[in-house]
Structure 1
Amino acid sequence: MRLLFIGLGGSIGSVLRYSIYYNMLAINGGWLPFLGTLLANLLGAFALGWFTSRLLLSKKLPEDLAAAIGTGLIGSFTTFSTLSVELSSLLQEGQYLLAICYVFISMIGGLVCAFGGFRVGQRRVVVQ
């Protein structure tokens, strides 16, 4: 049953990533073709950090639902393989500075977003 939940979450995450990718292409006119992947990866890193600290560690969700969200939805929303292919394309085109920036922003930005999401998820919600 867990595999079914992961598959369902994965299909939702991949459709969301595809939507962000192509909407970002439309917005920037193809000038930065990797912007959608970068945005999805940074948002996904933040979301997984938040999800891990807020819900997963507190055991507030059934394991099947947690797997569907963490592994399925967020895991398919972010993608290292697309980052790798886009980086390879930049290098083949001789855009070395842009490739270095892309790697730096992806890796450091991803760590910062994951840490930020984790910290936000640890905050207690105060209801007045």
Structure 2
Amino acid sequence: MATILVVEDNAANMRLTCLLLANAGHSVLRATDAETGLTLARECQPELILMDIQLPGMDGLTATLQLKQDARTAAIPVIALTAMAMKDDEEKTRLAGCNAYIIKPLRYKELYRVIDTLLAHS
């Protein structure tokens, strides 16, 4: 399976996401802020990134923009994870370079479907 980087500052959300990914056979890298996530993405080259949008300091949209502007990480698919469910929020994630958008709380079937789709295309 794939190595997936999870960038999430909420401990409960991090535990749930990592459990779901591990149960699906994926290896998980963890970051609790965008800066650490950027470093891990550049150093470890995960196959996919799950990016929380509301992070302390640098937000997930800014981090995604930086990933997509860096030749080392531009091809890594990014799934935006957000509790924001306003109509224009999905568009904002796409403009930042996110490849998909999942609203929290996570629904495991949707998470697995989106991950499988993106990994099959990358």
TM-score calculated relative to the size of structure 2: 0.29
Q: Which structure shows the higher strand fraction?
A: 2
- Pick 1 or 2: higher relative contact order, CA cutoff 8 A, min separation 6: 1
Whichever of the two has the greater Rg, that structure is 1
Q: Which structure shows the higher helix fraction?
A: 1
